[in-house]
Homo-oligomer: A and B are copies of this chain.
Amino acid sequence: MRQETRLSLILDLLAEKGSVTVTELVEALEASSASIRRDLELLESQHLLSRTHGGAVAGGLAYELPLRYRGGRNKEEKQRIAAVAATRVGEGPLSLGLTGGTTTTEVARALVNHKGLTIVTNALNIASELALRPNLKLIVTGGTARSESYELVGPLAEASLEGMNLDLAFVGVDGISADVGLSTHHEVEAHTNRVLIERTRRVIVVADGSKVGHKAFARICPPSGVSELITDASADADALQQLENAGIKVTLA
């Protein structure tokens, strides 16, 4: 097995379980203990975990799953959602906001061939992917980077958004329901996303079915701020009905 694969899998296991043992990794990755130790040493030098005797524990990002891990799940659904989302974006001069998240990242990828777009984002991973596309104008908000989500948040991010007026925004969330509205796990992230939504004429939420009807810790905004939800067929039917009653157009990808 290749080193890069091993490193990824070790981080996956760590994200899932919080700690791993060398013996466990030797079996799971079919590598020698020497290689496992070398891998752990490397990851520790990058501050991605802390070594213990017999294994390692997650360093810093234990409770919220890192973005890379969540990215693997439901990738096909997210790509279908993103493909539908891209059809909502016309050609021509248009200012478009993108918040962080794996689904919005797929939306960004679906938009790389559009022309004349100005894309505003507070997601570092999206910014990195779009930065070298000459056909797009990319504006990044400032802010403090959150290692768990790769989002730029806080007062600087919000101040950056103050002067902008966006035609359309795709927003990723951890939960959307008719009574609470949009919600996410982190309160500062929620506040920053709310500012972006307030500066946007038309807001479309992109979220896979598992988020529908769910309520996460921090509320972003009530359902009234949202024009449309694009999700997949695994979403709970009752929750979708309630969202439609609340005036949100629902599209299944």
Q: Complex formed: what's the CA distance from A141 to B159 in Å?
A: 11
- Whether, in the assembled complex, A38 has its beta carbon less than 8 Å from a beta carbon of chain B, the answer is no
A163 CB, nearest partner CB in chain B, Å: 8
Q: Complex formed: what's the CA distance from A57 to B141 in Å?
A: 27
B-binding segment of A45-53, A189-197, A205-213: A45-53
Chain B contacts of A113 at CB under 8 A? 45, 47
A133 touches B63 (CB 8 A): no
A71 CB, nearest partner CB in chain B, Å: 5
Chain B contacts of A127 at CB under 8 A? 124, 145
A63 touches B60 (CB 8 A): no
- Whether, in the assembled complex, A2 has its beta carbon less than 8 Å from a beta carbon of chain B, the answer is yes
A105 CB, nearest partner CB in chain B, Å: 8
Q: Mark A2-23, 1 if CB is under 8 A from B, else 0.
A: 1111011001000100010100
The 6 A-B pairs with the shortest beta carbon distances in the complex, nearest first, are A63-B68, A62-B125, A60-B134, A142-B142, A60-B128, A142-B160
